[in-house]
Structure 1
Amino acid sequence: MIYVRTTTKEFATFAGGCFWCMVEPFDERPGIISVTSGYTGGTVENPTYEQVCSNTTGHVEAVQIEFDSSIMPYKKLVETFWQQIDPTDPYGQFHDRGESYQTAIFYHTDEQKQIAEASKQELENSGRFSKPIVTKILPAKPFYPAEEKHQDYYKKQSFHYRLYKKGSGREDFIKKNWRNKLDKSKLKKQLTSIQFHVTQENGTERPFQNEYWNNEEEGIYVDIVSGEPLFSSTDQYDAGCGWPSFTKPIDLYQLKKEIDSTHGMVRTEVRSKTADSHLGHVFEDGPKDKGGLRYCINSAAMRFIPKDRLREEGYEEYLRLFE
């Protein structure tokens, strides 16, 4: 991972196997300025895709991210990186084999090295994987952008990209190994009956008879199960439907969208990525000047944290939303 500090704008480069699959997780998130596919770690200047894939240049496929660290902390990028890969595979990633598909974090400063090593050790200690974590942490080397056809591949060739991500085994590996496994018997004791019904049984609370449908206080909403930040009051508006409505999430990466064909309708369900909680649905009848989307969310799926309690509860970084 290459890391360059210029005020609050920084650069980071992750090697996580095929670079097609390493753009989408970072792209269009808060604080992300650009994500570029390319090559790093080798000795050949300005290598081509064919040269790198021949495993003769010493380069690995990678993505270089320019980001604003005051909005997207470096530590969060590292966490996202781990969640895209199999860090126990020393020979490549999924069906892509060879040194050009090996994983690595390249450090640029002593601080970066310490953060990367601490993150790796934390993952090792977590017991999430039975095999050792083999992702390398190495000094940074020059980064060479890949050919234009490889840039933003998940957008340009979305159908083929989805087939590849699924067919390569990456998508199923992520679902199996990076989705938190929750004990529903414990959740049933921790949550109220309506919170459990909504989040674990895909329930829906009554309109106009829920906690936050008309909340006007400043603050953020977090997943009632995991505590992951989901929505901000700065994006909340009265849609007249009787449930909390938002024009966008705080970070789209923290949500999953799935087709819901229940009740004789076809809708887009919204779930939290970390806890897999059912949250609500997203519709295309929102304010046009705000993107046109309406995230209709159950109050019971969330906990509201007022702005003046964000620092106290460990969500200090989100104070920027109210500046």
Structure 2
Amino acid sequence: MERNFTGTVVRATGSWYDVLRDGEPVRCRIRGRLRLKGVRSTNPVVVGDEVRCEEDENGDHVIVDIVPRHNYVIRRASNLSKESHIIAANIDRALLMVTLRQPETPPEFVDRFLVTCEAYKIPVVILLSKIDLQDAAAVAAFRAVYEGAGYEVLEVSATDGTGVERVRELLAGCRTLVSGNSGVGKSTLIRTIDPTLDIRTGEISESHHKGRHTTTFSTMYPLAGGGAVIDTPGIKGFGLIDIDDAELWHYFPEMMRTAPGCRFYNCTHTHEPGCAVIEAVRSGDISLARYESYLKILDEDDKYRK
């Protein structure tokens, strides 16, 4: 077998990486210099990366280079940090799992995740998870906001099977990232889609109504029906990084559709007279909650730059 090869990272633990070669995972570590290429990331190699590997003098395999990524999902590593954390790379679609209660997914988390997917041209579908436990009025209100913005919102329940077949269709033949807060049911849904997969699942903490982390490391699983799914540890927060204030509105689809009607070509959609976006918010054509998310992200970015 060749000492050197190029393969796909299918599991990342932070110290060791499983790289797929001829259908079998090979345990690899990173060559130290990969951390020194000017990318201020806490994780230079991620699941989904295509990497070049060599065998060293001890017979161990070492990742020596990363093939340029065509996209990735990235977030700020921590509060007021200038480092980034890449969640996954080279993906065809993202499924964002959201629950309105047990536990509640914060709207700002949803909007920041969607902005990042828009920025890196990753199609995203929102999965309203545990739909059998959700309040019908809250579900209707959520759907109105995000379908109005232009997203597909799919109601799912691993318990009663709602939406499972549609999710299976979305996954077929694609490399899909499944993401969301802890406890929204990512691992349970994936295991429902393909029961042959060995994925840990957990329960909600009764005392805090928050999810427990059941997925410890990001892992890519091949699906029996073709394609692959990336299961990630639950994410608590989602700070944006490397998105310019002047471009932010480009990543709100409903604002992109409306902005050509603004009086000024360089309108920031915050205060200008003749702003079509502000008018659309006033008339209810653009959700006030989504517009407030936009303003909050602008304000947050100013704090990070200080």
Would you say same fold, with TM above 0.5?
no
TM-score, with structure 1 as normaliser: 0.24
TM-score, with structure 2 as normaliser: 0.25
